[in-house]
Every structure is written in structure tokens, then in C-alpha cells.
Structure 1
Amino acid sequence: MTTSMEWPALWLTLRLAGISALLLLLIGTPLAWWLARTRFRFKSVVEAVVALPLVLPPTVLGFYLLLLLAPDGAVGRLWHSLGGDPLVFSFNGLVIGSVVYSLPFAVQPLQAAFATLSRGCLEAAATLRAAPLDRFLSVAVPLARPGFLTAGVLGFAHTLGEFGVVLMIGGNIPGRTRVISIAVYDQVESLQYRQAHLLSATVLALSFVLLLAVYTINRRYRHGA
């Protein structure tokens, strides 16, 4: 197996990471906003559920997601009733698994950013008759830009390194579910260390550049503020 044959796996991984990062921001933003501002009695329970992927072994999380997404599982059965294709061993299933697996990496930075916002700014916007949505979009979002950047990049970068979850849900189907982490495992298993090194170095370099960009931009933002 040559490295050139793994371009589909690299492209699939980047596509999965990009879609997952976008969905994480869409889902994580309202959830983080609610967690940062709510006085709900069982808020800690919700936070613990969101943070579960941080401590659960990926194979355990992948196993339960497999049960849910299978044709006879709760989510898989509902999806099939709506006319959707099977979620297991499919790209859509990988997206769902990736979003669940990386959710805390998006929610926690956003929640921290929202929690530091001054209530005075929001109250001042309210006195100007700004609606709640207007206050959120015109005041909260601009002030929380570092949190959005961190959440997006961490969600993207974390998806790049997924292995256990995607293997349990999607298996190893070239062009459909074979992501770069599985390709590296296959190369090592077949003793193709040069190819494994090139693939691993590519992911390592990309992850480092992404994280370096986050730290650099956030540092400049803090100094500028």
C-alpha cells in the first residue's frame, strides 16, 4: 500500500472534521450559552453528561453509539422511518459520532467565554430595547470571539485523531468510512512504518499549526483588548 492511496482517507478525514466542527458550533453555542447563564438546579448533571466523552474510553462510547444508530436502535429506527439510509458504516454515522465525541471540546470553551461576559454590557443593550437575540448576536458573540475560535479549532483538531469511535460506528470502508487514524493503524499493522510515519506526521503538523494559530490569535486578542 502506498501513501498516494491514502489521499481519499485524508480527504475524508478533513471533510468529516470540517462538517463536525460546524455542527459543534451550531449545537454547542446555545447549549454553552444556557449553561453559562442558567440557574437550573441540575445544571451540574447536564455538564457531567456533556463532559462524559472526556473520560469514557472511545470504544465504550462508540459501542453505545453503535447500539443507538443500528437499524434496530432508537436513533437508527427513527432515521430509517424518515427515509434515511442506514447510519452505521456510513459517513452520516461518522458525523454523528464525531459530534458526540467532540462536544465537550466545543461547549466548554464557549461556556467559559460566555461566563466571563459582563452583565452590564447585556443590560445596557437591553435598555436600548435590543431583543434577546439582538443582544446575543451584537454583544455576546463579538465579545466571545476567542471562545468561538477555540471551540471551532479544537472540535476540528479533535476529530482528526478519532479512532475508537469511528472504527466502532463506521468500520474500515475505503472511500466511505476509512479515516486517517484507521489508515495509520493499518499501515503499522502491515509493518509499513514509512507510510505510517508520513501519515502521522501530516496529522501532527496540521494539528500543531491549528493549535498554534489559536494560541497566537487569542493572545493578540487579549493584548489588543
Structure 2
Amino acid sequence: MDLEPIWLSIKLALLTTFILLLIGIPIAYWLSRKQTLPKLVIEAFITMPLVLPPSVLGFYLLLAFSANNALGRWLHEHFNVQLVFSFEGLVIASLIYSLPFMISPVKAAFGHLPKSIAEASYTMGKSRMQTFFYVLLPNIRSSVFTAAVLTFAHTLGEFGVVLMIGGNIPGVTKVASIAIYDAVEEMDYAAANDYALILFAITFIIVLAVFIFNRNAVKSPFE
């Protein structure tokens, strides 16, 4: 069995999770503050991948990234970047597709923290940045961990969006879910079963890790 699709899936999931941790937590915090109409519109767009069929999202991303359209042509002409049928395109598509899995749990956790925590920190002379990193984030660490694991697991099993954007290029865009599809198409059920079992085992382990972490973590009374 060729393990390259497995490693490519893990690489994609790790990279997507890392980037979403960097950009998702600040976005979630911003969305958890006072609700306004613009914020509701932005949150609606962020949440859309949860309800949209992956093929629909993948199709529109394919159109946007295509060199025949303005965005894709601009990227190609100015940066010599082609996102369609490339690993970079998979990463961007995965960021969009998995964004709500990072945002939703973290936003909910920030929203449940009493305002008095931040106010007490400000009273003690802490800046907003210090309060965010040393007071607020530690109080939602279990939610951040859960969001990261969900994002990783969701990215690991992507199919529709990945197929639309990346196609099926061995070593470049052929991730494990595509390898399973190919094996079934070729009626090679043994290979499909091998890939499926590996993904099943990885997913089970990371979900179990969430339960163990949340059980053993010393939780804040405000979570």
C-alpha cells in the first residue's frame, strides 16, 4: 500500500490546523464581543461550510482560483501562483472549509467568560494584549484544544472540496480520501479498506485524546 496519500493528508491537516489556530482564535474573540450586523454577516459566511455541500463550496473555489477568472489570473500574473490542482490550493480550500470548526467552539468559550475577569485584569494594570494571552486564553484552553482536534479531524477526512480544487495528482493533491475513492473505483477493496482503517484509527485516537484531556484538565469554573 502506498502511504503517500496518508502522509499528505496528515501534512494538510496539520498545516491547516496550525494556520487556523493563528487566525481563528483572534477572529473568534472579535466575534464574541458586542454583536453588530456586520459581525453577524461575517459569522454567517464563516459558518456556511457547515451547511453547504462540499461540492458547492469546491466548485465556487475552483471558479475563483481558475486562471480564467480575475482572482486566479491576478495571482498567476503577479505572483506566478496557480492554486488549482496544487497543494497550496488545497491548503486555502481547507482553511475556508474547516474555519467554522475552529471558530465556533472558541467563540462560544469566549462568550461564556464573565466580563469581570477581563475587568479585574485591567484593574490590576494589565494591557488588553496581556489580558488576552495570560488571562482569557488560559481559561478556555480546553475549548481551544477541542477546536484544534476537530479542525484536524475534519481536514483529514475532506473529500468533495479536495477533489474539486486538487483533483487527483499523486504526491501533490492525492490525499487519503481520494485514494479510497480511487481504490473503490478500481474495485480494489483491500486497498480501500487499508486506507479507511488508517483514517479510522487516527480519528478515533484524536477524538479519544479530546475526551481524556477534557476529563483530566483542571477546568476553570468559568468554562
Residue from 201, 217, 222 that aligns with 1:221: 217
Unaligned runs of at least 5 residues, structure 2: none
In the alignment, structure 1 residue 11 sits paired with structure 2 residue 7:
yes
Secondary structure of the 1:174 match is coil
Q: C-alpha distance in 2, partners of 1:53/1:92? A: 19
> How far apart are residue 177 of structure 1 and its match?
0.5
RMSD: 1.5
Code of the aligned partner of 2:13:
A
User: Once structures 1 and 2 are overlaid, which stretch shifts more, 146-155 or 169-178?
Assistant: 146-155
The equivalent residue for 2:183 is 187
* Shift of residue 110, structure 1, vs aligned partner: 0.6
TM-score normalized with structure 1 length:
0.93
1:62 is aligned to 2:61: no
Shift of 1:222: 5.7
| Runs of 4+ that moved beyond 4 A | 222-225
2: CA distance between counterparts of 1:84 and 1:107?
A: 31
Q: 1:176 aligns with which of 172, 193, 197?
A: 172
Q: Give the 5 Å matches for 1:1-225.
A: 3=1, 5=2, 7-221=3-217
How high is the TM-score relative to the length of structure 2?
0.94
**Contact kept? 2:139, 2:220, Cα under 8 Å:** no
Offset at residue 195 of structure 1 (A): 1.0
Mapped to 1, the partners of 2:146 and 2:190 lie a distance apart of 33
- Identify unmatched segments of 5+ residues in structure 1: none
Identity of aligned residues (%): 48
In the alignment, residue 159 of structure 2 is paired with which amino acid?
Answer: F
Structure 1 224/56 Cα, relative in aligned 2: closer, same or farther at 3 Å? closer
Query: Could you tell which deviates more after superposition, 76-85 or 59-68?
Result: 76-85
Secondary structure of the corresponding residue to residue 124 of structure 1: helix
User: Which moved further from structure 2: 114-123 or 201-210?
Assistant: 114-123
Task: Give the Cα–Cα distance (whole angstroms) in 1 for the partners of residues 200 and 105 of structure 2.
Answer: 22
